[in-house]
Chains A and B, each alone.
Chain A
């Protein structure tokens, strides 16, 4: 089953913040976050393992709520370079490293 991402799209002005959510109906072992620029391959941002940890990557951070089976990606003080489609990839069970990706969230940052 595919994780559900929300919102589907978001438009920001440079400097604004955004939150992208990723929800699963199955118990999660890990959640990956990737960013894909138009016409390019996805690039790994971060991974969160079950345990409710929060990770940071410059002004991009993420949390993992094991009880809610949900992860959120936080983009603060957005930059033009943040534009792209963000995908969460979820792994269930932890035994085979097989990721199932959500449909993506298109983030557009305007000047």
Chain B
């Protein structure tokens, strides 16, 4: 069966520090992968999605970037975090049959 792993679960980072969140998928090949962000009490905002290795589409101009170095690996990065980057980051894989979300990373920028 397909599983999705996301880490770390929580992260507290100072303003201006770099960020790297990793997501890996097992049990499927060539998955569509997504990064969403959810601010406290808010909806899910699509940040990036990828349909294959090296293929990244950005939805919102921002301080973040994404990369897909391997088929089942999706990485969210930032060179310098801002206070506004705080939130709940969710990786997901899927397509027409529905999305499966990772357990999420709660990022607090201080």
Contacts and interface: CB of A to CB of B under 8 A. Distances in A.
A98 B57 CA distance: 10
Interface residues of B, number: 23
Nearest to A42: B101
B27 interface: no
Nearest to A3: B43
Central interface residue in B49, B90, B98, B103, by most chain A CB within 10 Å:
B98
Query: Interface extent on A, as a size class?
Result: 20 to 34
B101 A99 contact: no
A47 interface: yes
Interface in A78-111: 87, 89, 94, 96-104
Given A30-B96, A42-B101, A44-B99, A99 B46 contact: yes
A44 B104 contact: no
Contact of A98 (B45, B46, B100): B46
Central interface residue in B94, B95, B99, by most chain A CB within 10 Å:
B99
A9 to B, nearest CB: 11
B46 to A, nearest CB: 7
